[in-house]
Structure 1
Amino acid sequence: MGAWVVLVLSGVLEAVWASALAASDGFRRPVPVAVFAVTAALSLFGLAHAMTSLPTGTAYAVWVGIGGALTVAWSMLTGREAATVLKILLVLGIIGCVIGLRLVA
């Protein structure tokens, strides 16, 4: 699998582990803790793999951007976080930056 595909999947897993961490209630709920542990490990493994053929800064920025944008989007969709026009535009800006990094890398 190509480094960019692995990187995108790892970014998606970052959003999963961040959401599971929030749902763990301070590591007091075992199922979200288990989801957090597995997806965090897989996400970091994928990032490390992608960094073997992509520049470190670019790979990390894309990973964080995907994870952050998806985490905010999920929080807004589930009602845990208010969805405002400005917040949506800013998240779209993050996505645009991620796409831009892919195009110039």
Structure 2
Amino acid sequence: MKYTDGFSRLWPSVWTVIGMVASVVLLGWSLKTLPLGTAYAVWTGIGAVGTAILGIYLFDESREVLRFVCIGLIVAGIVGLKLVTPDSH
């Protein structure tokens, strides 16, 4: 969203909206097999990790080891939630 400059730049805005729509569609798709709490936690966790990694890559944000450890903890939480959540079929 930073590249959209307040949604005043066309193509970054288009790609941002496409990403947002795809994200919600994928969340809805995951709700077919996961309980709401798990699906939402995984969805937000993936978003947080993706945002942190893109911030490091695109905007030269901090690359401190502790930052990567924290990102790893979020990923571990996502994996853990998925492993302990039975499919709702």
| TM bucket normalised to smaller | 0.7 to 0.9
Q: What is the distance in 1 between the residues matched to 2:23 and 2:49?
A: 15
Report the CA distance between 1:53 and its aligned residue.
Answer: 2.3
What aligned pairs does 1:64-79 form with structure 2 within 5 A after superposition?
A: 64-79=44-59
User: Once superposed, which parts of structure 1, at least 4 consecutive aligned residues long, lie more than 4 Å away?
Assistant: none
The aligned residue for residue 98 of structure 1 is: 78
Report the CA distance between 1:52 and its aligned residue.
Answer: 2.5
Name stretches of at least 5 consecutive residues in structure 1 with no aligned partner: 1-20
**Pairs aligned (count):** 85
1:57 equivalent in alignment to 2:37: yes
Give the letter aligned to residue 58 of structure 1.
T
Q: What is the distance in 2 between the residues matched to 1:77 and 1:90?
A: 17
Superposed CA RMSD in Å reads 1.2
Name stretches of at least 5 consecutive residues in structure 2 with no aligned partner: none
Q: What is the distance in 2 between the residues matched to 1:41 and 1:78?
A: 22
Q: What is the distance in 1 between the residues matched to 2:56 and 2:17?
A: 24
What aligned pairs does 1:2-41 form with structure 2 within 5 A after superposition?
A: 21-41=1-21
Give the letter aligned to residue 53 of structure 2.
A
Q: What is the distance in 1 between the residues matched to 2:16 and 2:50?
A: 16
The aligned residue for residue 66 of structure 2 is: 86
Give the letter aligned to residue 78 of structure 1.
L
Report the CA distance between 1:79 and its aligned residue.
Answer: 3.8
Structure with larger Rg: 2
Taking only the aligned residue pairs, the percentage that are identical comes to: 33
